[in-house]
Amino acid sequence: MNANVKAAGHEEWFDVVNERDEVIGQEQRAVVHAKELWHRAVYVLVFNEAGQLFMQKRALTKDSSPGMWTISCTGHVDAGEDYDAAAIRELGEELGWVPSSPPARILRVAASEVTGWEFLWIYQLKAEGPFTLHPEEIDCGEWLELAELSRRLVACPNDFCSAFRWLWPRLAEKLI
């Protein structure tokens, strides 16, 4: 489990970064989000051998986008942690599966309002599961063909996290 997640009542700490994604300080999660400070996050796309993407439905207890669909694995980069280490840690925390090496980086996204002021590295890898979904993070998951995911996104956009709705067209052109 994440070393920066403490017992109940304690906060996670994030690196606060400047416009060049350089660390300029650390702050608690709640402060970072409340003040819309630039910070870091990772998204990991997990594909199976059939080319389907694992999608997660966020737990209803999440503080942002509860009950909404998003990429296989998402999470913040903790204070003092690098992107690759965060990707591996988040896969373990959310999916109960830890790869032997960092997944491949496929896209970098600058911090903006649409990303929640997060600089993002998007990763991808292949894995078949089975996964052990962390119930405080993920309600359920589903393997989807990319065409079906795009269809659902058009038919029911409000079922998906806003950052994912913005990001998917940019990812789809790299993946399809």
Question: Tens of pLDDT along 60-111?
Answer: 999 889 999 999 999 999 999 999 999 999 999 999 999 999 999 999 999 9
Res 3 pLDDT > 80: no
pLDDT of residue 1: 37
- Beta-strand relationship, 73-76 and 138-144: unpaired
pLDDT in tens, 130-150: 999 999 999 999 999 999 999
Instruction: Supply the CATH number for residue 141's domain.
Output: 3.90.79.10
Q: How far is CA 84 from CA 1, 48, 91, 172, 173, in A?
A: 16, 21, 11, 22, 23
pLDDT (mean) for 36-55:
97
pLDDT of residue 176: 57
Query: Is residue 4 included in any domain, yes or no?
Result: no
Residue 91 has which token pair?
Answer: 């896969």
Query: Is residue 8 included in any domain, yes or no?
Result: no
Query: Is residue 35 included in any domain, yes or no?
Result: yes
Domain of residue 96 covers: 13-175
What is the three-class DSSP state of 11?
coil
Residue 87 has which token pair?
Answer: 């990707």
Query: Is residue 3 included in any domain, yes or no?
Result: no
Query: Is residue 81 included in any domain, yes or no?
Result: yes
Domain count, the chain: 1
Query: Is residue 6 included in any domain, yes or no?
Result: no
**Separation of alpha carbons 76 and 39, rounded Å:** 8
Share of the chain above pLDDT 90, in %: 87
Query: Is residue 63 included in any domain, yes or no?
Result: yes
- 100 Cβ partners below 8 Å, 6+ apart? none
Q: What is the pTM of this model?
A: 0.90
Share of the chain above pLDDT 70, in %: 94
Query: Is residue 5 included in any domain, yes or no?
Result: no
- 142 Cβ partners below 8 Å, 6+ apart? 54, 55, 57
Query: Under a CB-based contact definition with an 8 Å cutoff, are residues 45 and 72 in contact?
Result: yes
